[in-house]
Structure 1
């Protein structure tokens, strides 16, 4: 590569963590696509003009789309967005050759009628950008890396924290590694891929706790070894039923022995600890969580209504948790313990609350429009406590006070991760007795607010009890679905040749 000519790098990708056990479907608008210069502006902090990476390459945005986790993506939605990606890449290539592609994905998207859809998308992209263009992928550690996806990338990395506090750093690392690879002129690095027969939810693999803490702490140590470019561990995505879903390690670099040893070290650390993974907090039935919270002096006491977590793929409109909460006698009176519940979508209920106004007493019905497998719509009579317009996810939010419960109702589903999500609704979570959120592990701001908490093992599309969901397409044996293995798994590194036309074998 010329010292004076900057490489041209295109950006494309689709991201959506999707549960195949959720009855919902994800449509094209949910991806909120960004195109062309919008992408450069979105990632301007590290590839924009004046930044180190921005000045070292010419970045050209095709299309990216990041949807809130949910149900399976419809085939029509995928084809619509994939076709636009291809068309936009064709336009970029028509203006001159490109040397690199940043593949901006999550890695756990499922599409109707397709397995391994990120690999399908990248294979289509390769027909436009050509086999010689170097591709660097950035992913969520809850994504899945099939042999084919590894085959079609040249560099591939993922987050190293859960909860994810290194999202920007990971994307920047993927871009930095690509720029440096292009600058080196060395061509394609070696890639060692190791599948591990473990499939656990994020709530058992948080890097806040052991054994994930020491396993992920080993990643940068492997990366520091001479001859290694990057190392990454994927936990995999537990709530989809595809053959690719499992834990995986990938290491890339120039020294075959170092890359192989690094990948195998990480895989062996993961497998050695497979029986040690526990939930990130005390768990219990919903009743047990409420009983414990009421008996505790810790305030606020947080409870995760985990089965319908919208940031893991739940529909967000399961009413099971709110129904059982409102049935408890402790919360029937306005003088009872203060409880905040987030949240249940109900467009018509929200419309009625907006029409009635703050302070009005109304009777509305909400929820279970998509996921009614566990409970039907819930009818409530309460006082409109607050109304907020303009949220990027919910669009409109209202708070309905029923007894001592402040239930958040939304026009569209929304995750509640920040203190401002509550305070902007005239709620004071730090002063509440109990805060119940549809979430798995608590995101950092919630974790900092909670004086104590429990993980409720509630039903929904992302049920933490994996064995009752009914997986039948994942590879077996697989921990924890199978607790006895005839022999130890093969954790030897498989070197994936990105330059060959075929995979040269099955996706082991």
Structure 2
């Protein structure tokens, strides 16, 4: 008699991912999200392919996934629409053994104090208690107790920049399958928050102490009985009680989980004053002056306060004004490329005028005007030097980032030595391809709305400065005006704040 075939596990895939600055006037709407279902959703992940080793054991059940470029808080109606679809698809899918929960961890929703906890409550209610849920998260997410206790497994990126983002999702999926195959059920999670909240640009794993703190996680995970170990630095540009660092160690033994979690939490706390910016810093004028005077080319400058991939509006013309205030750049003796200010009206005017035409525009401030002098539109007279209308994006490749597709049309306008790229939609400039027909290597300075440099920009830069500019993701947290974070909290509180309770709670 032949053996009965092994039942394939039914594992759903779904989630909602965005990080949202509550200090940004932008509001994230449904059209800002790339929503995938069915085969298009499965195509996001390499490990769902029929030739993957998991295929014999798992029937992957695509639910719905929504991902957006970071921005301002999500409008409540948009959130409710996505949450309702996700939970309905879970209920309609039939019994699930597991769920790969692909989220970010720093989503803010208008009217909610802990959006990921609210979403996870709804997801858990839909799956029922018997489904194991494994969350893959960004290390810049927030991990409240309410959120964590509804999950069975949770892990986060171990690199910043996030070169391991897809590896993190795969780890969450494979750990879930291992757990289900083993029959050991729900592991113990030791959770502890650390009263530290740092901007992402101070927590790059290229530098100490983050390099060593995160570098040891794989060794902790390798300990007998440990399932996973993760550290979250938190998201500094939301103003909620949950915003702070956190550690979760998942293990078969509660004692082991607690011991390792408390050790990691203590190390993080002890290192709090050792975190430094990922590169040399200065204000806008200082960074521009140093870059102009340097012989290194191209010299990159990060316009960090308006970084759209951290939640900035992406429409601030502040750096454009500072560039053109420098005589060498205004005269054309030194050249600079500055992508990309979001301004659909200015882009439309450039397309109507055509390449080679002189235009006078009020640039930027379409969303942010009124939030401060740095956000007022900048009057720019220059020549349209490039127009680009990229084709609509197709289905994302498994290793692509669909949140960053669809930047719409763009226009380049040159005045003196400064070429500014205007975009219809908020978008990043992280790779050579993002610049289109413009060659960043052909300019003396490249001034990008970003924080620490992503890998291709990092490789491109002959030298680099991080400009501490104003905006919705200002790196100087103390000038943002947090009101609802739980105090005491470093760096808002420092002197006399030496003995936090770092006792881990078993969930």
The alignment's TM-score, normalised by the length of structure 1, stands at 0.94
| Equivalent in the alignment of 2:285 | 287
Which stretch shifts more, 51-60 or 153-162?
51-60
| Equivalent in the alignment of 1:434 | 445
| Equivalent in the alignment of 1:230 | 228
Q: Which of 467, 470, 477 is residue 466 of structure 1 equivalent to?
A: 477
Whole-Å Cα distance in 2 between the matches of residues 62 and 444 of structure 1?
32
* 1:22 and 2:24 matched: yes
| Equivalent in the alignment of 2:362 | 365
- Partner SS state of residue 409, structure 1: strand
Whole-Å Cα distance in 2 between the matches of residues 42 and 294 of structure 1?
42
Whole-Å Cα distance in 1 between the matches of residues 382 and 55 of structure 2?
53
| Equivalent in the alignment of 2:397 | none
| Equivalent in the alignment of 2:121 | 123
Question: What is the total number of aligned residue pairs between the two structures?
Answer: 488
Whole-Å Cα distance in 2 between the matches of residues 442 and 21 of structure 1?
22
| Equivalent in the alignment of 1:181 | 179
Whole-Å Cα distance in 1 between the matches of residues 57 and 101 of structure 2?
18
Whole-Å Cα distance in 1 between the matches of residues 273 and 497 of structure 2?
16
Whole-Å Cα distance in 1 between the matches of residues 29 and 265 of structure 2?
36
Whole-Å Cα distance in 2 between the matches of residues 3 and 319 of structure 1?
63
Task: In structure 1, list runs of 5 or more residues that go unmatched.
Answer: 497-508
| Equivalent in the alignment of 1:399 | 412
Q: Which of 487, 494, 502 is residue 505 of structure 2 equivalent to?
A: 494
Whole-Å Cα distance in 1 between the matches of residues 440 and 320 of structure 2?
17
Following superposition, the deviation at residue 400 of structure 1 comes to 0.9
| Equivalent in the alignment of 1:378 | 378
* 1:52 and 2:30 matched: no
Whole-Å Cα distance in 1 between the matches of residues 5 and 195 of structure 2?
45
Following superposition, the deviation at residue 367 of structure 1 comes to 1.0
Whole-Å Cα distance in 1 between the matches of residues 496 and 178 of structure 2?
42
Whole-Å Cα distance in 2 between the matches of residues 226 and 34 of structure 1?
38
Task: In structure 2, list runs of 5 or more residues that go unmatched.
Answer: 392-404
- Partner SS state of residue 32, structure 1: strand
Whole-Å Cα distance in 2 between the matches of residues 448 and 161 of structure 1?
17
- Partner SS state of residue 375, structure 2: coil
Q: Is the 8 A contact 2:192 2:247 kept in 1?
A: yes
| Equivalent in the alignment of 1:390 | 390
Matching of residues 92-491 of structure 1 within 5 Å: 92-93=93-94, 97-333=95-331, 335-372=332-369, 373=371, 374-390=374-390, 392-422=405-435, 424-425=436-437, 427-491=438-502
- Partner SS state of residue 73, structure 2: strand
- Partner SS state of residue 152, structure 1: coil
Q: Is the 8 A contact 1:226 1:258 kept in 2?
A: no
Whole-Å Cα distance in 2 between the matches of residues 413 and 486 of structure 1?
40
Q: Is the 8 A contact 2:97 2:180 kept in 1?
A: yes
Following superposition, the deviation at residue 343 of structure 1 comes to 1.4
Q: Is the 8 A contact 1:196 1:248 kept in 2?
A: yes
| Equivalent in the alignment of 2:7 | 5
- Partner SS state of residue 272, structure 2: coil
* 1:37 and 2:48 matched: no
Following superposition, the deviation at residue 50 of structure 1 comes to 1.6
Q: Deviations over 1:411-452 (max 9, x none)?
A: 111110001222x23x22223211100111011111111111
Following superposition, the deviation at residue 487 of structure 1 comes to 4.3
The alignment's TM-score, normalised by the length of structure 2, stands at 0.94
Q: Is the 8 A contact 1:108 1:143 kept in 2?
A: yes
Whole-Å Cα distance in 1 between the matches of residues 53 and 496 of structure 2?
49
Whole-Å Cα distance in 2 between the matches of residues 398 and 308 of structure 1?
19
